[in-house]
Amino acid sequence: MGKFIVKRVINMVPLLIGITFISFLVMSMVPGDFLSNLKMNPSVSPQMIAQMEAQFGLNQPLLVRYGKWLWAVVHLNLGISLTYRVSVLSLIGSRAVNTIILSAASMLFAWSLAIPIGIIVAVKQNSIWDRVLSFLAFFGMSVPNFFLAFLVMYLALRTGWFPVGGTYSVFYPQLDLWGKIADRINHLILPVMVLGTAGMASLMRLMRSQILEIKNSDFVRTARAKGLSERAVIYKHVLRNALNPFVTMAGYGLADLLGGAALVEAVMNLQGLGLLLLDAVRSLDVYLVMGSVLMGSVLLLVGNLLADIALVAVDPRVDFSSMESQ
């Protein structure tokens, strides 16, 4: 187990280098750079611009800049944000935590609803519930995250039940610890519902098809023939086997989750990694973009690793040696 994890972590290194290099290449293709704004500004002297160019290495060739950046990253220095003038790491840290909270809560929400609904729908195949819920799942899968975000914001505006966007209230600093937590949760409810809906719909469909497939297999027939109760058959035999691709899906779905989170953050003005990246892209803040993409990739890779470990925990047929050979 330990060996497997170490190996996977080492495997991440070339991937991350590739990812950052592609991103660096992309950022170098951007027309104009951050300093072109400052150059227009008459109050900024040419000496200052020259100094900044030297400081950020903007006038050096691409590979040199990339090498310098990479060397700094190894020392946990992601560079300085050109707009905020503070270290990228300090900016990204708190934002990434917000994004992780949002994504994890959405996943929890989606799973806790999708699994029971999927079971009910599959057990009562072709009943009216099955038809209605399966149709609704299609609905949920097709509603764009950003559109749903606007819809729930409209609902919040009309009813006043929930805060309209934002990460916390204006009076957040004056609250005590529990008040702060309650305030954060209150602001999370709508985004989590928005982000969870799409995931829930596709997970529910997956659960349904999985259970339907397993329901007709030999070992389920054996279990029934043994005289087990229907409940025991479903929960002990069908469900355990149906969960396997679920865990795999969780790994694959992470990229979508992060992307969806970025959109929801942008629309609902949540202080997450996605919104930070969007602002960085808009202001061509190269190091901040690189840092955000790197952070996003790390989240993704770590998430996938966790999903793989969970897969082994759920399914004894999968072992680490077989995963290594993949």
Partner 1 sequence: MSAAAPRTDIRLEAPPPERQASLGAKLRREWRLASWPVRLSTLCLAVFYILALGSPVIAPYNPTRQYRSLPDCPPMALHLAAPSEWRRGFFYAYPMRMTDAVRRTYAEERGVRTWVHLFSRGHIFTTAPGAPPYFLLGSDALGRDLFSRIVYGSRVSMFIGILGVAITFSLGITIGALSGYVGGLLDNLIMRWSEIEMSLPSFYFLLALAAIIPSGMSTVKTFFMIVAIMSFIGWAGFARVIRGMTASVRSVPYVEAARALGASRWRILRRHVIPSVMGYAIVAATLSIPGFILGESALSLLGLGIQEPAASWGNLLAQAEDVHALAHYPWILLPGVFIFLAVMSFNFLGDHLRDRLDPSHLR
Binding region for partner 1 (CB under 8 A)? 15, 18-19, 22-23, 26-27, 29-31, 135, 138-139, 141-144, 146-147, 150-151, 153-154, 157-158, 164-165, 213, 255, 258-260, 262-263, 266-267, 274, 277-278, 281-282, 284, 289, 292-293, 296-297, 299-301
Name the residue among 165, 167, 206 with its Cα closest to residue 184. Answer: 167
Nearer to partner 1, 111 or 150 (CB): 150
225 phi, psi to nearest 5 deg: -65, -30
At residue 79, the 3 state secondary structure works out as coil
Nearer to partner 1, 80 or 275 (CB): 275
Nearer to partner 1, 129 or 228 (CB): 129
- Least distance CB 110 / partner 1 (angstroms): 18
| Rounded Cα–Cα distance for residues 161 and 145 (Å) | 21
- Least distance CB 27 / partner 1 (angstroms): 7
What DSSP designation does 269 have?
Answer: T
Nearer to partner 1, 231 or 282 (CB): 282
| Rounded Cα–Cα distance for residues 79 and 85 (Å) | 10
- Least distance CB 232 / partner 1 (angstroms): 26
- Least distance CB 305 / partner 1 (angstroms): 11
- Integer angstrom CA distances of residue 293 from 22, 131, 177, 288, 296: 11, 41, 32, 9, 5
Residues in the chain: 326
- Least distance CB 283 / partner 1 (angstroms): 10
- Least distance CB 14 / partner 1 (angstroms): 8
Nearer to partner 1, 183 or 213 (CB): 213
Question: At which residue do the structure tokens 């050096």 appear?
Answer: 60
| Rounded Cα–Cα distance for residues 242 and 219 (Å) | 13
Nearer to partner 1, 88 or 277 (CB): 277
| Rounded Cα–Cα distance for residues 156 and 268 (Å) | 11
